Amino acid sequence: MIGAIAGDIIGSVYERHNIKITDFSLFNPSSTFTDDTVLTVAIADAILSGSGYSGKLKEYYRLYPERGYGPGFRRWAACERTTPYHSNGNGSAMRVSPVGFAFDTLEEVLREAKRSAEVTHNHPEGIKGAQAVGSAIFLAGKGASKEEIKTYVRETFHYNLNEPIDSIRTHYDFDMTCEGSVPQAITAFLESEGYEDTIRKAISIGGDSDTIACIAGGIAEAFYGGVPQDIADFALAKLDDALREVIAVFEQAHSINR
């Protein structure tokens, strides 16, 4: 899941200052981890501990309260309520990468992606976004080709994956919904030539850059067999010891190599 986290960190400086090019610095001193990283680690911790997703998401919000959460999630996480708030936001998709790495069958991934999403994002599009990303990561990690991944996601979730990144870039604007960011993130991966190229293409379309790069980065990590060491080192250096420890334990538990 370091691929998703690195995407979040690299994209963090471009979320409010979009760029429409692929030639930019990956290693900006101002880069930081956002809610994408915090909640990704929360999902990983829930899987490791066998805890409920809802409790872990609230726990990590309390530990890292100022990381750019959406207002709906913030209200939910800050109170005692556990009922979801029917969101179709891309928060469900940005945090799902551990599910794609942790489970052994596609059926399990689809079930757990739904469970991880619906504690907050119980809108059909919120669940669909998480399942699409989780299944793409699972298939990528099992050796599926890009065409096989594209066909599965398109036929199962009915996303349009045919518009090229060069076309998307000309008109794409800020969209925090699953339906308005997950297909674009998957397309960035499908057009890529490696992990770094995935991140560059994802950020270059603009919009919710950290989340789009987070989603695309998780799939790219699974497909390309890891993250370049300099990128992984840069991302890990931005985290605290507690977050790094969960990542290390999760990677060991699920035989994820870097």
Question: CA 237 → CA 2, 9, 31, distances in Å?
Answer: 12, 11, 11
Q: Flag whether 258 is in a domain.
A: no
- Given a cut of 80, is residue 77 above it in pLDDT? yes
Q: How confident is the model at residue 178 (pLDDT cuts 50, 70, 90)?
A: very high
Q: Flag whether 151 is in a domain.
A: yes
221-239 average pLDDT score: 97
179-183 average pLDDT score: 97
Q: How confident is the model at residue 91 (pLDDT cuts 50, 70, 90)?
A: very high
Which of 118, 94, 111, 122 is closest to 33 using CA atoms? 94
- Given a cut of 70, is residue 29 above it in pLDDT? yes
Q: Looking at residue 81, what is its pLDDT?
A: 79
Q: Flag whether 167 is in a domain.
A: yes
Q: How many domains does the chain have?
A: 1
Q: Looking at residue 255, what is its pLDDT?
A: 83
188 is in which domain, residue-wise? Answer: 2-253
Which of 134, 188, 141 is closest to 161 using CA atoms? 188
Which of 195, 240, 199, 228 is closest to 13 using CA atoms? 199
Q: Looking at residue 256, what is its pLDDT?
A: 78
Task: DSSP for 58-75, please give it.
Answer: HHHHHHS--S---HHHHH
Q: How confident is the model at residue 38 (pLDDT cuts 50, 70, 90)?
A: very high
Q: Looking at residue 50, what is its pLDDT?
A: 93
Task: DSSP for 85-99, please give it.
Answer: ----BTHHHHT-HHH
Q: How confident is the model at residue 258 (pLDDT cuts 50, 70, 90)?
A: low
Stated length of the chain: 258
Average predicted confidence (pLDDT) for the chain: 96
Q: How confident is the model at residue 116 (pLDDT cuts 50, 70, 90)?
A: very high
Q: Flag whether 20 is in a domain.
A: yes
Q: How confident is the model at residue 249 (pLDDT cuts 50, 70, 90)?
A: very high
Q: Flag whether 163 is in a domain.
A: yes
CA dihedral 85, 46, 112, 109 (to 10 degrees): 140
149-165 average pLDDT score: 97
Q: Flag whether 9 is in a domain.
A: yes
Q: How confident is the model at residue 185 (pLDDT cuts 50, 70, 90)?
A: very high
132-161 average pLDDT score: 98
Q: Flag whether 234 is in a domain.
A: yes
- Indicate whether this model's pTM tops 0.85: yes
The CATH number assigned to the domain holding 52 equals 1.10.4080.10
92-120 average pLDDT score: 98
